[in-house]
Amino acid sequence: MSIDITQTIFMAVAVICAFLFAYTLTPPVRVLAFKLGAVDVPLDNRRMHSRPIPLIGGLAIYAGFVLTTMLFCPFSKELATIWIGGAAIVILGILDDIFRLPAWIKFIAQIAIACGAVWSGTTIDHINLGGEYISLGGFSFPLTVFWIVGLTNAMNFIDGLDGLSCGISAISCMSMFCVLMLSGEFVSAMIVAILAGACFGFLPFNTNPARIFMGDTGALFLGYALSVLSVQGVFKLHAVLAFIVPLVIFALPIGDTLFAILRRVCSGKSPFAADRGHLHHKLVDMGFTQKESVKILYAICAILGLIAVFFTEGMFAEGKTAKTIWIAVLAVGIFVINFLLMRSPACRKHSGLSDDEMTVEDYLAEKEDQKQAKAEKMKKSVKTDNGEQTP
């Protein structure tokens, strides 16, 4: 793989362009949301916000992606699939954000859009198992539709905290970008990088406290775009067990969705019935703030992406498997240490992972408490050494 400085600058400019398009288009999209009545009003305890927040923010992400790819990427049938299918899924999302469409209507529309992508040539037609290509034959069509619809809904299901789904999409894009660059797929890598740039452009308005939500407009589009891009690029890599790479990259939203469906079906509810049992809800119930919960899930997604990148053929010349396992173990170990620290309110405010609003008075009071605790401990120790019974 050889990329000259001109290509690097070209790609960097494309990403910046996508960022600026999405960033500058978000304010007018927010105004449009109020005009259309696409506003999320918190009327139940499932919502994590307490004030009306406009939706359809995903329109800015879609526009930033399409405009940038039109300017910087050569036209291809694969790119047109994302533009056209993305437009259809964005329209579906806007209608849902305004009128709250029934789940079955959205599901049928998603299947139709996915079938259109498959008809245009976006298919998982084989898997590479141990260096041997296995054709999927007649299973190719339904499997690809299942993947596109599944990941589209997974990104929508996990969109429950400020900046969560958009940030996870951006992290997944960066993981796919690294995999594609290591595999020499420059054009596909640039398309993925542009999508990441559009996500980053929207995030300043979407992080806690959010001023606008992506809504189904953005979550469905990002899920659709990532699923199609993974089929067009990552699934078709020549690496051994290449089909595992996208599964690892998207393991967090896929896992959360599978557990949500199982949880709802086992309790006699519809798989599409909204509830407050997602992983991000559980973290908030444990005592983490929205920002802290989002950071934890970002870290999990990044760790999974890191594992996928290290599993790519071009990453290590020798000892790839062993090095990948070691890096994964180290990453998980560091994450667990931080997670345990964050569970303690006393440690959380000193970690830097949450907002530290400590005043001078707070610090001095804390030091005094520590001195008193140390003195009490010493008194108990002296009593024990003298044979006295501790209280």
pTM assigned to the model: 0.88
pLDDT tens readout for residues 51-70: 889 999 999 999 999 999 99
Percent of the chain with pLDDT over 90: 51
Q: What is the Cα–Cα distance from 322 to 134, expressed in whole angstroms?
A: 26
User: 380 falls in which pLDDT band (50, 70, 90)?
Assistant: confident
Confidence of residue 390 (pLDDT cuts 50, 70, 90): very low
Confidence tier at 45 by pLDDT (50, 70, 90): low
Task: Give whichever of 6-10, 215-219, 327-331, 372-376 has the largest mean pLDDT.
Answer: 215-219
Identify the helix (H) or strand (E) that includes residue 135.
strand 132-135
pLDDT at 81: 96
| The pLDDT of residue 280 | 86
pLDDT tens figures, 341-366:
777 777 777 766 666 666 777 777 77
Q: Which of 277, 248, 283 is nearest to 260 (CA)?
A: 277
Distance, in Å, from the CA atom of 150 to the CA atom of 247, rounded to the nearest integer, reads 12
Condensed to tens digits (0 to 9), the pLDDT of residues 156-194 reads: 999 989 999 999 999 999 999 999 998 888 899 999 999
The pLDDT tens digits of the residues spanning 271-315 come to: 777 777 788 888 888 878 888 899 989 999 999 998 888 877 666
Predicted confidence at residue 229, as pLDDT, reads 95
- With vertex at residue 65, the alpha carbon angle to CA 35 and CA 313, rounded to the nearest 5 degrees, is 145
Using the 8-state DSSP alphabet, how is residue 36 labeled?
H
Residues whose CB is less than 8 angstroms from the CB of residue 367 and which lie 6 or more positions away in sequence, other chains included:
none
The pLDDT value recorded for residue 238 is: 55
Tell me if 224 sits within 8 A of 152, measured CB to CB. yes
Which pLDDT score is estimated for 125? 86
- Whether 391 has a pLDDT exceeding 50, the answer reads no
**pLDDT reading at 10 higher than 90:** yes
Average pLDDT, the chain: 86
Average pLDDT of 223-247?
Answer: 81
Q: What's residue 114's pLDDT?
A: 97
Measured CA to CA in angstroms, residue 362 lies from 156, 349, 372 at distances of: 41, 12, 15
